[in-house]
Amino acid sequence: MTTPSSKIGPNSIIQTVAALEATYGKIKAENMLRKIGQGYLVGNLPKEMTEETKFHTLVGALQKEIGETATASILKESGERTAGYLLKVRIPGIFQTIVKLLPPRPAFRLLFFAISKNAWTFAGSGEFSYSLSRPPEITVKVTFPTQLVVGNFYLGTFTALLQELIGKDSIIKADIRKENNSIRCKYRCEI
């Protein structure tokens, strides 16, 4: 799915900053944001759809400052926080109840069919798809130049959604790699 303006939801940034603050404390996180050229975010988080470039620039700056492992952890938590927001604010309670009542594979199909209708809100200029193979798979192709570590954001989001709506024991195995000028994030879902 592609949107001409390549905008994504503000939670990509809001929740990344929240995860940064939870890990390092508010003052240290704000100082870090200023140091890495992202000081405009301090007290000024986006409230509307935002250019995907802002999220990917933040990811790259974080990785350069704190390293790949720490950034991966921040992004995974950011994804989990985003899933929490979606469950609380965006995914209707009646839909959640229906999904939880279904067996895992039909629940996966219904959940990701619904997600695919608004996938542009997190894929931006990239692509989103899912398959009902055994095991089911989710793929996000990020076409904006970024770091491989960005795949941890989607990993956190999808894992939290699956564990809440399909089964607590749901596990995702991620395969994140560069493909030509993009990053392909493939998630095999053991549900």
Residue 21 placed within a domain: yes
Residue 2 placed within a domain: no
Residue 82 placed within a domain: yes
Q: Which domain holds residue 176?
A: 7-190
User: What's the domain count of the chain?
Assistant: 1
Residue 172 placed within a domain: yes
pTM across the whole model = 0.94
d(C-alpha 168, C-alpha 159), whole Å: 10
Residue 107 placed within a domain: yes
pLDDT at residue 5 in the model: 53
Q: What is the mean pLDDT of residues 75-87?
A: 98
Is 181's pLDDT higher than 90?
Answer: no
Residue 1 placed within a domain: no
CATH value at residue 136: 3.90.1520.10
- Half-sphere exposure (CA, 13 Å, Cβ side) for 102? 18
For residues 56 and 150, the answer to whether their CB atoms sit within 8 Å is yes
Give 37-54 pLDDT, tens digit per residue: 999 999 999 999 999 999
Q: What angle is formed at CA 8 by the lines to CA 104 and CA 122, rounded to 5 degrees?
A: 20
Residue 48 placed within a domain: yes
pLDDT at residue 4 in the model: 45
Residue 131 placed within a domain: yes
